[in-house]
Amino acid sequence: MSLSKRDFMQVLGAASVAGMGLGRWAEADAATAQAGLYELPRFGNVSFLHMTDCHAQLKPIHFREPSVNLGIGSMQGQLPHLVGEHLLKHIGVRPGTALAHGYTFLDFEKAARRYGKVGGFAHLATLVKQLKASRPGALLLDGGDTWQGSATSLWTNAQDMVDACKLLGVDVMTGHWEFTYGMERVKQIVEGDFAGKLDFVAQNVKTNDFGDPVFKPYVIREINGVPCAIIGQAFPYTPIANPRYMVADWAFGIQDENMQAMVDEARGKGAQVVVVISHNGMDVDLKMASRVRGIDAIFGGHTHDGVPVAISVKNAGGTTLVTNAGSNSKFLGVMDFDVKGGKVVDFRYRLLPVFANQIQADPAMDALIAKIRAPYEAKLAEKLGVTDGLLYRRGNFNGSWDQLICDALMEVQGAEIAFSPGFRWGTSLLPGDTITRELMMDQLAITYPYATVTQMSGETLKTVLEDVADNLFNPDPYYQQGGDMVRVGGLQYTITPGEKAGSRISDMRLKGKPVEAGKSYNVAGWAPVAEDAAKAGNKPVWDVVETWLKGQGGRVKARSVNAPKLVGVAGNPGMAG
């Protein structure tokens, strides 16, 4: 896919206000830099702001974008499966700029030290207020994965994020990891805390017994006299990727037919603009956009793809724009529509990196965050060690944070192999950074954290790897049901992503010796989805990792990442050269 003239203008517009000229403001105070970098000219008469997958990160953080995000089959060479220089070349952004740092992993340590931390709700709040002031009636949409991912979100049962999102001014949201707090807690928040303030929408969540909607499928809001429908699409595979018992009474799924019915219903009620706030993942959104007509834009999440342009997808009813706004409150998407004669006639889209040292902190949000953290500050700040190497997670295969977790699971629990889930969330640490309990919990804070040790045959090991590989690399996006590839410690293997299901994994080895199909191996893991595991009395994974960290003598050596051998992907622009 080559950029159209309109797409290219989107990138130029974003670059001119958010990164290409950041050097001009390097010595300016935050207020001056903010005015220079984030003043977007108003366009049209209907605007949406979009954030997604913040994973409960209230404070500014570092976050490394992936160096491996493979597109297979028809998706090879297409957004979002472009990384590093391939992505920059595609969108016309110069390497070495702040925008290049925002969108890619390139020279991450050097760029992170130069440009500082990203995100943070106090800085995001300032930006949201500024953009809403310049775009009267603009709505802030939240794609979900908001209530999970930090120690304070876990310890407050998500209340910290509920309060922060209300203050931030979120208007409409959908969900995924929200559901891991359980049905009762989700309904308590939606029907209590959010009542009359924030709409939680999901057209694809129904009761198991009678198929009744659990949440509103959509809402219609008027923006400058234009009726706009916002339809929700929760993560369709929640009961597969996460514990089913946590949503035992609810059914999920993609539900294209019902989505079409909701679009038609909203249009029938007078909606002139129809958008979807989605947690499908970008590949799934692209396919949905080709199958469902009448949607003006899909604002996507789940896969954490920071894609700086809106992708136009043709369908039977015309064209649908598909976007994805990254993660960790690192980006804010801005979609401006020009609506005339009852329909969208033009648009402008920008994905703004949120550079914390270039935006003033909002005092009210700053105060709320301080209040939330106050009871836990000593516990959060406890020093567990200093890292000698870069710690990161995001990417199709192992990251150095994942390697640390696998090493800890094996060494503390006496296992020869470790599996760690391919979670995309988790902040990054630079060499020399202190690993505090807070930063450790950024990688581990879930409601089913149990560490496990089980016996698996070599045949079962291969089956597990094949199943996860198919979830990630199935050529049909509708069968991509989880996160990235399971992270593996101890075990080496070869993977051919373009092969058919059941034939991608080969040459599994342990300490250089072939894994035997009939032999039993001791395998450590965590985050089991089975209900029995929640009742087994196992330690939470953070106890295991903390024990390991405290046993490293104060310094944690740079991790040697156990990445698989990749076959058949040479030249794939979803992989760094």
Identify any residues that bridge with 229 across adjacent strands, giving them in sequence order: 220, 274
Query: What average pLDDT does the chain have?
Result: 94
Tell me the pLDDT band of 33, cut-offs 50, 70 and 90: low
For range 298-322, the mean pLDDT: 98
Annotate 181-208 with three-state secondary structure. Answer: HCHHHHHHHHHHHCCCCCEEECCCCEEC
Q: Is the pLDDT reported for residue 11 higher than 90?
A: no
Q: Is the pLDDT reported for residue 19 higher than 50?
A: no
Tell me the pLDDT band of 577, cut-offs 50, 70 and 90: confident
* pLDDT tens string 342-358: 999 999 999 999 999 99
Q: How far apart are CA 161 and CA 419, in angstroms?
A: 30
How far is CA 197 from its chain centroid?
A: 25
* pLDDT tens string 272-306: 999 999 999 999 999 999 999 999 999 999 999 99
pLDDT attached to residue 9: 44
pLDDT attached to residue 232: 99
* pLDDT tens string 62-117: 999 999 999 999 999 999 999 999 999 999 999 999 999 999 999 999 999 999 99
Helix, strand, or coil here: 404?
A: helix
pLDDT attached to residue 12: 42
How far is CA 221 from its chain centroid?
A: 26
Backbone angles phi, psi at 460, to 5 degrees: -65, -40
pLDDT attached to residue 24: 58
Tell me the pLDDT band of 23, cut-offs 50, 70 and 90: low
Place of tokens 């410690």: 489
Helices (runs of H) and strands (runs of E) counted in the chain: 19, 25
pLDDT attached to residue 162: 98
* pLDDT tens string 397-433: 999 999 999 999 999 999 999 999 999 999 999 999 9
Q: Is the pLDDT reported for residue 158 higher than 70?
A: yes
| E runs forming strands in 84-176 | 139-142, 172-173
pLDDT attached to residue 516: 98
| E runs forming strands in 196-330 | 199-200, 206-207, 218-223, 226-233, 250-251, 273-278, 297-300, 311-315, 318-324
pLDDT attached to residue 481: 83
Which position has the higher pLDDT, 547 or 23?
Answer: 547
Residue 224 tokens, joined: 């400058």
pLDDT attached to residue 1: 37
Q: What angle do CA 8, 12, 14 make, to 5 degrees?
A: 115
pLDDT attached to residue 3: 42
N-to-C CA span, the chain: 20
Helix, strand, or coil here: 339?
A: strand
Residue 33 tokens, joined: 């830099």
Q: pLDDT over 70 for what percent of the chain?
A: 94
* pLDDT tens string 178-200: 999 999 999 999 999 999 999 99
CB-based contact 151:180 (threshold 8 Å): no
**What are the distances in angstroms from CA 534 to CA 246, 456, 458, 531?**
11, 20, 26, 5
* pLDDT tens string 471-494: 999 999 999 887 799 999 999 999
Residue 288 tokens, joined: 């949905």
Q: Is the pLDDT reported for residue 20 higher than 80?
A: no
Q: Is the pLDDT reported for residue 28 higher than 70?
A: no
For range 504-520, the mean pLDDT: 98
pLDDT attached to residue 25: 52
DSSP code, position 17: H
- Which strand (E) or helix (H) includes residue 491? strand 491-495
- Which strand (E) or helix (H) includes residue 332? strand 331-340
For range 362-381, the mean pLDDT: 98
For range 135-143, the mean pLDDT: 98
**What are the distances in angstroms from CA 62 to CA 17, 52, 99, 117, 352?**
21, 17, 15, 5, 16
Compute the half-sphere exposure of residue 394: CA atoms within 13 Å on the CB side of its CA: 28
